[in-house]
């Protein structure tokens, strides 16, 4: 996974006992299953959809559904009671990657990219499925670009990571895009995959993951050039999606390209994210997990099987896993 294509799949570009729940009737119990996931402690929602390869996920509390992206189709799908269906289809979509619901503005923000670096965009729909804007980010600077993940601040501004460059974009609620930060220090080496997951902290800064050097960065909104690496107590393993459970706790998806160190890590900070300490881990060896969301205080991570995709294979089943 050292080349761009495979590295993109690592995160974009982060189990198998299944327990039955009344909330998700399609989840069934499997006996004598692989004990990487406890049939007692972990719930798994299986999505049966050939070749979907989703990467981004968020939970829509109003519609009681998960929204997911797709590397192969570009469609945005919805999962309701374990059933998948297409929610939004757009001929301009190539590979939809990151997905974030701006609950204050009631919009769904979607990054749309092409692996060859020729397309990087942020597309917004309202929760009824009506297009709000389509912002072209790649035209803001030369070179190849890959719009990966997106976060939203308290004013409705969106921030998008560029995994092919050391760039973070800012897009206002009307879809006007600018370069928020462009730093050579954040750019990956050639044929590597750099900036990845992103989330907003209510104290006025962003946390961004970088896959190629296993680092989290704190980026102040009022002074983005003054970014700094967060000192962590434990190692990351190709960090991908991020999610603030609360101002002091951050979920980090470390996908390890689907290797034995794949896991969801919980870090806690008591000094405004200058440093952070590992407090919990949900281990998922052999699973290529990507992004995480929260439904009614429970965290769910997406198992996207991007290792199968990167090898040219296919699969009919993808999973949403409850993190415990």
pLDDT in tens, 151-197: 999 999 999 999 999 999 999 999 999 999 999 999 998 889 999 99
- State both tokens at 27: 């989840």
- State both tokens at 287: 């699973």
Are the beta carbons of 217 and 207 closer than 8 angstroms? Answer: yes
CA dist 238 and 187 (Å) reads: 16
Going by C-beta distance under 8 Å and a sequence separation of 6 or more, which residues neighbour residue 130?
A: none
Q: For position 235, what pLDDT does the model report?
A: 98
3-state secondary structure of 281: strand
Q: For position 191, what pLDDT does the model report?
A: 84
pLDDT in tens, 281-300: 999 999 999 999 999 999 99
pTM comes to: 0.88
Domain architecture of the chain: domains with CATH = 4-323 (2.120.10.30)
Q: For position 103, what pLDDT does the model report?
A: 85
Strand-pair partners of 214? none
Q: For position 104, what pLDDT does the model report?
A: 86
Residues of the chain with pLDDT under 70: 1-42
Are the beta carbons of 253 and 14 closer than 8 angstroms? Answer: yes
Q: Which helix (H) or strand (E) holds 83?
A: strand 83-88
């Amino acid at each position: 996974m050292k080349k761009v294509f495979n590295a993109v799949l690592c995160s974009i570009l982060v189990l198998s006992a299944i327990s039955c729940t009344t909330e998700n009737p399609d989840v069934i119990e499997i006996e004598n299953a692989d004990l990487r996931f406890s049939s007692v402690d972990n719930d798994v929602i299986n999505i049966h959809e050939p070749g979907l390869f989703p990467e981004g996920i968020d939970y829509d509390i109003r519609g009681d559904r998960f929204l997911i992206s797709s590397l192969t189709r570009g469609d945005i799908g919805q999962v309701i009671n374990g059933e998948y269906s297409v929610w939004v289809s757009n001929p301009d979509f190539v590979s939809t990657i990151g997905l974030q619901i701006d609950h204050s503005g009631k919009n769904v923000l979607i990054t749309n990219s092409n692996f060859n670096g020729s397309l990087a965009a942020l597309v917004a729909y309202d929760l009824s499925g009506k297009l709000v804007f389509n912002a072209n980010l790649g035209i803001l600077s030369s070179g190849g670009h890959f719009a990966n993940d997106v976060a939203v601040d308290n004013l409705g501004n969106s921030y998008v990571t560029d995994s092919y460059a050391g760039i973070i974009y800012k897009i206002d609620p009307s879809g006007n895009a600018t370069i928020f930060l462009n730093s050579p220090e954040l750019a990956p080496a050639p044929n590597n995959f750099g900036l990845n997951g992103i989330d907003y902290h209510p104290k006025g800064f962003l946390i961004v993951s970088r896959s190629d050097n296993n680092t989290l960065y704190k980026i102040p909104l009022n002074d983005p050039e003054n970014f700094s690496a967060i000192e962590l107590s434990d190692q990351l393993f190709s960090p991908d999606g991020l999610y603030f459970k609360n101002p002091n706790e951050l979920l980090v998806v470390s996908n390890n390209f689907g290797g034995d160190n794949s896991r969801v890590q919980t870090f806690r900070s008591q000094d405004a994210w200058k440093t952070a300490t590992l407090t919990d881990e949900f281990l998922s060896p052999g699973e290529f997990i990507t992004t995480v969301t929260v439904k009614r205080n429970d965290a769910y991570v997406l198992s996207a099987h991007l290792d199968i995709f990167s090898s040219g294979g296919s699969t009919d089943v993808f999973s949403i896993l409850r993190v415990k």
